[in-house]
């Protein structure tokens, strides 16, 4: 099941599962869209989305994750004057992008509901430094952010499987990545630091008269 939040801070499904974006006001202040640095090194996503989840079965087990979908792949703008703040596309996306799982793993509904759920997200466009806590994104691209709540259960063979999924998409969580160029080291600065260290240690060159 997939729910598009548009300009809402609170979404609720027919089954009673509901999600509130706790820091909605912060995200909603970005006009027309939030900019996120993304380059050859890892950048923290700031602010980090914080959710409060209601309506989960206390004794069932759930896994939470965030998925970043490339919005431009689905809008297919006819010209370069694409406005990412326009009406959000309601159709289900056929192509999925990067998924970040919450580090707490699989927990009961009671455990997820008793406190706020915060995702500390790191992004990069460099696949060589990718890890389980970092999302690989393209620079200069618009993404939407979807919260996935997967109900997990063991089958007859003891294998944990996803038996039900609910997706919540808040429009204010859209962002546009901006390439961050890592500054290169200046040789003169390195030389000065090296010379300073030699003088402090008392080592230097002497000249013979």
pTM above 0.95, yes or no: no
Q: Which residues contact 72 (CB under 8 A, 6 or more apart)?
A: 82, 141, 142
Cis check: omega of the bond before 206, within 30 degrees of 0: no
Work out whether the CA dihedral 155, 158, 159, 163 comes out positive or negative: positive
Rounded to whole angstroms, how far apart are CA atoms 65 and 101? 4
- For every residue of 117-186, which 3-state class applies, written as one string? EECCCEEECCHHHCCCCEEECCCCCEEEEEEEEEEEEECCCCCEEEEEEEEEECHHHCEEEECCCCCCCC
Each of the 209 residues of the chain gets a pLDDT tens digit; together they read 444 444 578 998 888 999 999 999 999 898 888 999 988 889 999 889 999 999 999 999 999 999 998 876 544 444 444 444 444 443 333 344 688 999 999 999 999 999 999 999 999 988 888 888 888 898 888 898 999 999 999 888 888 899 999 999 888 899 999 887 655 443 333 333 434 344 444 444 334 44
- Give the bridge partners for 66, in sequence order: 100, 147
Q: For the CA atoms of the chain, what is the radius of gyration?
A: 23
Which residue ranges form the domains of the chain, and what is each CATH number?
2-201 (2.60.40.820)
Pick from 106, 98, 92: which is nearest to 151 by CA?
A: 106
> Residue 15, SS3?
coil
């Amino acid at each position: 099941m997939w729910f598009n939040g548009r300009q809402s801070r609170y979404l609720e499904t027919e089954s009673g599962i509901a999600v509130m974006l706790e820091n909605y006001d912060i995200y909603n202040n970005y006009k027309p869209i939030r900019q996120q640095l993304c380059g050859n090194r890892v950048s923290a996503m700031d602010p980090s989305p914080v959710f409060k989840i209601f309506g989960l079965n206390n004794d069932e087990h759930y896994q939470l994750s965030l998925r970043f979908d490339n919005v431009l792949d689905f809008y297919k703008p006819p010209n370069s004057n694409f406005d990412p703040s326009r009406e959000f596309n309601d159709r289900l996306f056929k192509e999925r992008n990067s998924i970040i799982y919450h580090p707490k793993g699989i927990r009961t509904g009671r455990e997820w509901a008793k406190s706020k759920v915060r995702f500390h997200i790191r992004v990069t466009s460099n696949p060589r430094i990718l890890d389980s806590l970092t999302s690989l994104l393209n620079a200069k691209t618009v993404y939407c952010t979807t919260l996935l709540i997967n109900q997990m259960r063991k089958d007859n063979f003891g294998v944990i499987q996803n038996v039900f999924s609910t997706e919540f998409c808040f429009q204010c969580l859209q962002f546009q990545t901006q390439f961050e160029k890592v500054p290169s080291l200046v040789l003169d600065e390195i030389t000065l630091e090296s010379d300073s260290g030699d003088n402090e240690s008392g080592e230097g060159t002497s000249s013979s008269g």
